[in-house]
Amino acid sequence: MNAREDTISQLVEAARAARKNGYAPYSRFSVGAAVRLNDGEIIVGANFENASLGLSLCAETVALAAANARGRFADIDAIAVVGGPISRSDSAENENHVITPCGRCRQILNEAQQLADRPIAIYCASTHGAAIVEHSVTALLPFAFGPNDLGINPNRKS
Ligand code: THU
């Protein structure tokens, strides 16, 4: 494994570990996410459901908001996402099945990318198998609505 693969694998493992903390008693579908910052620090998130169902938070959103709470929303280089049924026997899950971020999370990733002013890599990895599929924010959310459409440059401090 080369250094780049090693860095990606470390991020995927962090997402897999976070997935174990997903609070998903309603969907029984647990998701973990791990954000890598430009200094190598990793910040994780797990999905966070509640009885109102529609107010559940995705793992990616939790991880991105946690990076923001640390003052690091502009410093995101990459995110890994891992999701699947809590009990594998519940489904005919292919061990190399990967999920991609939902529409709302893509919008938040676009915000992070605008702030970072460089591409953010999205690694969608399987819960158990070896699959890791890399996507760009632009590929997952083409023609995105963003801060520029509001005439706002979020990098500007004033
Ligand atoms: N979920 C995520 O956390 N991230 C995704 O990319 C897709 C869906 C969560 C939301 C909900 O808790 C469960 O997975 C089933 O939709």
pLDDT digits 0-9 by tens, 22-51 = 999 999 999 999 999 999 999 999 999 999
Domain extents for the chain?
3-150
User: Could you tell me the distance, in angstroms and rounded to a whole number, from the CA of residue 127 to the centre of ligand 1?
Assistant: 14
Mutate to test the pocket of ligand 1, among 19, 21, 29 (most ligand atoms within 8 A of CB): 29
Distances, alpha carbon 73 to alpha carbons 4, 52, 55, 114, in Å: 23, 28, 23, 10
Contact criterion met (CB below 8 Å) for 148 and 113: no
Token pair in block for residue 8: 């990606």
Question: Regarding the domain delimited by 3-150, which CATH topology (the fold level of the hierarchy) does it fall under?
Answer: Cytidine Deaminase; domain 2 (3.40.140)
Closest-lying ligand 1 atom to the alpha carbon of residue 47: 3
CA–CA gap between residue 4 and residue 78 (Å, rounded): 12
| pTM: predicted TM-score of the whole model, two decimal places | 0.95
Ligand 1 within 6 A of 101 CB?
yes
Count of residues making up the chain? 158
Is 52 exposed, middle or buried (CB count within 10 Å of its CB: 0-12, 13-18, 19+)? exposed
Q: Where are the beta strands (DSSP E) in 23-131?
A: 29-37, 42-46, 76-85, 121-125
pLDDT of residue 87: 84
DSSP 3-state of 37: strand
Pick from 136, 48, 75, 129: which is nearest to 100 by CA? 136
Ligand 1 within 6 A of 31 CB?
yes
Going residue by residue through the chain (158 aa), what tens digit of pLDDT does each one get?
Answer: 899 999 999 999 999 999 999 999 999 999 999 999 999 999 999 999 999 999 999 999 999 999 999 999 999 999 999 999 998 654 555 889 999 999 999 999 999 999 999 999 999 999 998 999 999 999 999 999 999 999 999 885 54
